[in-house]
Structure 1
Amino acid sequence: MNRRHCATAAITLVCALALLTSTGQAAAAPVPDPVPSASSAGPAPLRTTAELEEVRERIDTLYRKAGAGTDAYNLAEEQTKKQSGELVKLAKAIVDGQARIAALKDRAGAQAREQYRNGGLPPGAQLALSNDPKLFLDGINQVRRSQQASKSLLAELQQTQQDLETYTQDASAHWEKLETGRVRQAKAKKKIDAQIEAAKKLESRLEEKEREQLRRLEADAAAQAQNAWLSSGAIKDVSGEASAAGAVAVAFATAQIGKPYVWGAEGPGSYDCSGLTSQAWLAAKRPIPRTSQEQWRLLPRIDIQDMRPGDLIIYHADASHVGMYVGDGTIVHAPRPGRDVTLAGAGSMKILGVVRPDR
């Protein structure tokens, strides 16, 4: 491999990496107006409770889809960061390998020049031609050492060249993965933007009284689900106490109450659902996966009856939401866009299962 070509390739790789990792903002797809506006004849009549309930369900569905998309975005972002780090390491290895090859070639060239100055023979070979037995033996030993050194130099040069080829191939593979992750990340963001925008439009078209009633409907639906969950006896025997690390995580998470939900955020001024839980456990010096889906997939699962404060409750069939159990049937979580980190009933949403970061 030509030295100038490899060095140029490595420099190009690092420069392109810097451009690639600065992911741009994807524009949201236009969302059609989901609710008719008031006619020119006068204000539209207020919607009935049944109509508002339908709006609430549509908004909830959109935000849940956005939540699932947020997990896909966050996972792609984590993978992009990892691939970027690997690519930087490989770029450095390529540059170092090229420098190593250059140094080995210089050594080989020095040996060749030395032999040329000695009439094409290494110094030991000249001694081996001597009639003096001692000089002859010394020459033989020198020849052997010279041959061994030449073999070692050649082997080292070949191995370094093979390593350089491997680094280059690995860099190409990581580059492809990085590009795939970037595309996936951009697509996920576009979907999230569209879903959040559609939900916001639905709510923005409501009159102030209707928005107030919508909030009451949300609260009523959550309360009904929580009461049904408690009445089922799901946590009748739940009495576990937080571990030392769990207590730190709970203290961190509850200290964030009142901060806004922002998708993809992990503090300190705003959070999404898994951003809150991952940062809380990071504060407890127990790093966990970034997304709710990865938390559900990778962390140890436990029965609800064995739940204790600090454990994470995963919600919905697609594991698209997570909250932290804080005791007494309550979680702290970052609900959705337009809402703040808050306390809520642990059974106010459909529970998929419970995981324990410090099991």
Structure 2
Amino acid sequence: MNRRRRAAAAITVACAVTLLASPGHAIAAPAPPEPPKKSLEEVRKELDGLYAAAASATDAYNLAKSQATRQSAHIVKLAQEIAKGQARIDDLKARVGATARAQYRGGGLPPEAQLVLTNDPDLFLDGAGRFKAGQKATKDLIGELTRTQADLNAYNREASAHWVQLEANRVKQEKAKAEINKKIDAARKIEAQLQKEELARLLKLEQDAAYQAQATWLGSGVLKEISGRASKQGSAAIAFATKQIGKPYVWGAEGPGSYDCSGLTSQAWLAAGRTIPRTSQEQWRLLPHVDIKDMRPGDLIIYHADASHVGMYVGDGAIVHAPRPGRTVTLTGAGSMQILGVVRPDK
């Protein structure tokens, strides 16, 4: 009896296995384990990376935009020169045509040449002089026409070259714009997944990291060596920049309602009466460098290895800057980020 029961049970199990293994009755694979949730510190570093990439792309966008603006202005000037050159050519051609018609009416000779053929000695001498002067005038006229045409051709070639560069910079702008939006969207997607309490803790982590970096920088004794005083223009630039505190960061913006980092510094120095490059990378490349120990208020501190961020030193170890999307123009420690170097707009 027990044997029959055991046999029946074995048959039942075998049938069940056969049934489950048959088509339409596949065994569901176990769900893969969820990836471990990132710590807020890991999230902070990821966001820092995304916003740093957006800052680099913003610098590329701003550079392409400023170059395109300059090229557009140059093309306008060239167009004006081309129009003036064409009008000059039209005038010269009309004068050459009038000379040719006069020669035709005189049997192929201008009046001055006909006077040379007279038997009257006085008229002959007068005609010879006028003939010589007429020849020079005609030669000068043709020479001016040739030069003007050459200038016009050069303007046209230059305008064509600038059009090519203008289009290339517009393409660069669009690529940089797409990259900026991609990085910012990725960062905002991460932030949107965080709870309100987590966002507050994330901000605290950002602040703690900045404070720690500033403390390390000050701990090096660097501030003891910095004793420079702001120039008159530097003071004016600081006054402008600090008045913008609280205004939002917007990439590509240069006021008056919002700024990106180099938009703030370039406009501050423009308000002080000095035009400087638009981007932090160009500010680093083109403005005079000074040693940190010789830094004075109004100088610009360039940050990160790729020179993708800039702030204005205001004294006492602090800068005013436009940090990144989602933040506002603010004061922070000059050593709170990786310093690449210092430049002075009014050196």
Q: TM-score, normalized by length of structure 2? A: 0.88
Matched, 1:89 2:87: no
Determine the structure 2 residue equivalent to 1:52: 40
Given the alignment, which residue of 87, 99, 111 partners 1:99?
87
| Structure 1 CA distance for aligned equivalents of residues 209 and 201 of structure 2 | 12
- Measured after TM superposition, the shift of residue 164 of structure 1 is 1.1
Given the alignment, which residue of 61, 70, 79 partners 2:58?
70
Determine the structure 2 residue equivalent to 1:226: 214
Determine the structure 2 residue equivalent to 1:277: 265
User: Is the contact between residue 235 and residue 304 of structure 1 (CA under 8 Å) also seen in structure 2?
Assistant: no
Given the alignment, which residue of 283, 294, 308 partners 2:296?
308
- Measured after TM superposition, the shift of residue 333 of structure 1 is 0.4
- The percentage of counterpart residues that share the same residue type is 66
Other structure's SS at 2:224 match: coil
Determine the structure 1 residue equivalent to 2:319: 331
Determine the structure 1 residue equivalent to 2:114: 126
Q: TM-score, normalized by length of structure 1? A: 0.85
| Structure 2 CA distance for aligned equivalents of residues 167 and 300 of structure 1 | 34
Matched, 1:356 2:310: no
Deviates more, 1:154-163 or 1:331-340: 154-163
| Structure 1 CA distance for aligned equivalents of residues 257 and 190 of structure 2 | 27
- Measured after TM superposition, the shift of residue 282 of structure 1 is 0.7
| Structure 1 CA distance for aligned equivalents of residues 225 and 99 of structure 2 | 81
Determine the structure 2 residue equivalent to 1:262: 250
- Measured after TM superposition, the shift of residue 160 of structure 1 is 1.1
- Measured after TM superposition, the shift of residue 125 of structure 1 is 1.3
- Measured after TM superposition, the shift of residue 334 of structure 1 is 0.3
Other structure's SS at 2:100 match: helix
Alignment of 1:1-359 (within 5 A): 51-359=39-347
Give the letter aligned to residue 169 of structure 1.
R
Other structure's SS at 1:158 match: helix
Give the alignment's Cα RMSD to 1 decimal: 1.3
Other structure's SS at 2:275 match: coil
| Structure 1 CA distance for aligned equivalents of residues 233 and 156 of structure 2 | 43
Cα offsets for 1:29-78 (capped at 9, x unmatched): xxxxxxxxxxxxxxx9x96xx71110110101110111111111101011
- Measured after TM superposition, the shift of residue 142 of structure 1 is 1.2
User: Is the contact between residue 238 and residue 305 of structure 1 (CA under 8 Å) also seen in structure 2?
Assistant: yes
Determine the structure 2 residue equivalent to 1:6: none
Other structure's SS at 1:246 match: helix
| Structure 2 CA distance for aligned equivalents of residues 301 and 65 of structure 1 | 25
Other structure's SS at 2:331 match: strand
Determine the structure 1 residue equivalent to 2:17: none
Q: How many residues align?
A: 313
Other structure's SS at 2:327 match: coil
Other structure's SS at 2:39 match: helix
User: Is the contact between residue 275 and residue 291 of structure 1 (CA under 8 Å) also seen in structure 2?
Assistant: yes
| Structure 2 CA distance for aligned equivalents of residues 52 and 200 of structure 1 | 15
Cα offsets for 1:253-278 (capped at 9, x unmatched): 11100000000000000000000011
- Measured after TM superposition, the shift of residue 310 of structure 1 is 0.6
Give the letter aligned to residue 107 of structure 1.
R
- Measured after TM superposition, the shift of residue 181 of structure 1 is 0.6
Give the letter aligned to residue 54 of structure 1.
E
| Structure 2 CA distance for aligned equivalents of residues 326 and 164 of structure 1 | 51
Give the letter aligned to residue 90 of structure 2.
A
Structure with higher Rg: it is 2
- Measured after TM superposition, the shift of residue 119 of structure 1 is 2.2
- Measured after TM superposition, the shift of residue 116 of structure 1 is 1.9
Give the letter aligned to residue 179 of structure 1.
E
| Structure 2 CA distance for aligned equivalents of residues 237 and 105 of structure 1 | 71
Give the letter aligned to residue 145 of structure 2.
L
Deviates more, 1:114-123 or 1:289-298: 114-123
Give the letter aligned to residue 331 of structure 1.
I
| Structure 1 CA distance for aligned equivalents of residues 83 and 291 of structure 2 | 52
Other structure's SS at 1:169 match: helix
Determine the structure 1 residue equivalent to 2:22: none
